[in-house]
Amino acid sequence: MGMNMSEKILARHAGLAEVEAGQLVICNLDVVLANDVTGPPSIKEFEKIGRPVFDNAKIALVPDHFQPAKDIKSAELAKIMRDFAHKHQIKHYFEQGRVGIEHVILPEKGIVGPGMLTIGADSHTCTYGAVNGFSTGVGTTDLAVAMATGKAWFKVPEAIKVELTGKKPADITGKDVILTLIGMIGVDGALYKSLEFAGEGVKELSMTDRLTIANMAIEAGAKNGIFPFDEVTKEYVEGRVEQPYEPVAPDADAKYVQTVNINLSELTPVVAFPHLPGNTKRVASLKEPVGIDQVVIGSCTNGRLEDLRIAAEVFKGHKVHEHVRCIVIPGSQWVYQQAMHEGLLDIFIDAGAVVSCPTCGPCLGGYMGILAAGEKCVSTTNRNFLGRMGEKTSEVYLAGPQTAAASAILGRIAEPKEVA
């Protein structure tokens, strides 16, 4: 029986020769992840189990959502994680000054890699499928048990093949690809399924594109998203992932419940209108201008160095519109430092943007960019639900870094080619 990539990883970690969709399996885990929102309640449940962590080198604790602490409550949440990390000598605990956004720093630091199985108490843990791993979000109790046992249960998901063809235009990023896909199949179009990307078009996508796409698999309801291992993956993980890894590839007769075809050559910049990531429209098709108040460039979806380079290229020689505030958030300390060395931060600051330290901040309506009533924001984040970034009558429009930068300059939702 042929298996797809997700089935192969789950079978391997369950110690089975093969698995099939719908099967329940218990798997050994490579990485267990929590942040400052999900970590404290998981730690509370873990303490009830009364045993040590299963492996202090396979747990990652990343205080990124409300850190540096915005108030007393967030400081207390961080302290719970800090004390737990010190007590159990957690290898991958990232204190302020060394921390970044969790789904940026785990791939960046080689903690996740090809063929690995990762769970995290955060829905965007599916990001690591970009490097040919199986990764998915879980709840507090599952995470607590995983920290104690190193195991988790899974229902093997059915798989949808996303066949990519054509050449990626210069003004298109991975964000346009995934927003287009979600617009095609809907926010529940891949409910508890695996999105497996394939086709000649995959080679057109940089690792940054793939990380963005896998990150938002959950916005289509998917259990996970996963890319094949190729030269792009190999170049990214070599010298970065220290532990041994074993890539997976789908069998020729692997089963898929559906195939979705996307010709990259036909894509143009898109924006997801409120209040769903699937409410996708081509920017060029907008009949009336959509004025905005704020732009956010960053997050676990688009806070990587390539994202900042793309945005900076649009900003060069331009200013943020006088009626707009623009917030740029590097996804990690390394991204921040590299952007500084390359002069990207100068470009942002000269344009009139705010540059923040790495944080999830505004993405979840935490801090560093909360919207007032009626305000509109173009954001490179991953969700635009009602009230996601502030007051419930505010609106969030999801876009790639090139579209976000152009919108900040022109004061309305715009394509980069509109910036003279």
Secondary structure E strands in 63-208: 92-93, 117-120, 134-137, 151-155, 158-165, 193-198
Q: What percent of the chain has pLDDT over 70?
A: 100
Q: For the segment 22-71, what is each residue's pLDDT rounded down to a tens digit?
A: 999 999 999 999 999 999 999 999 999 999 999 999 999 999 899 899 99
What's the average model confidence in pLDDT over 325-342?
97
Average pLDDT over residues 101-121: 97
Both tokens of 87, joined, read 């007590």
Residues 6+ away with beta carbon under 8 Å from 235: none
**pLDDT (0 to 100) of residue 107:** 97
Residue 242 has pLDDT above 90, yes or no: no
The DSSP-derived string for 30-41 is: SEEEEETTTHHH
Give the distance between the most distant pair of CA atoms in the chain.
Answer: 63
pLDDT band at 386 (very low <50, low <70, confident <90, very high): confident
* pTM confidence score: 0.95
User: In sequence order, which residues have a C-beta less than 8 Å from that of residue 286 and are 6 or more positions away?
Assistant: 413
| Phi and psi at residue 162, to the nearest 5° | -105, 105
Phi, psi of 270 (to 5 degrees): -125, 160
Could you give the domains of the chain? 5-246+253-263 (3.30.499.10), 269-415 (3.30.499.10)
Contact 92, 34 (CB under 8 A): no
pLDDT (tens digit per residue) in 349-372? 999 999 999 998 888 888 899 999
- As a whole number of angstroms, the distance between CA 320 and CA 294 comes to 10
**In Å, how far are 23, 165, 212, 407 from 178, measured between CA atoms?**
28, 14, 8, 20
Residue 373 to residue 310: CA distance in whole angstroms:
30
Q: What is the mean pLDDT of residues 290-299?
A: 97
Instruction: Kindly state the average pLDDT of the residues 262-283.
Output: 95
- State the Cα–Cα distance between residues 114 and 133, nearest whole angstrom: 5
Residue 195 has pLDDT above 90, yes or no: yes
pLDDT for 399 equals: 97
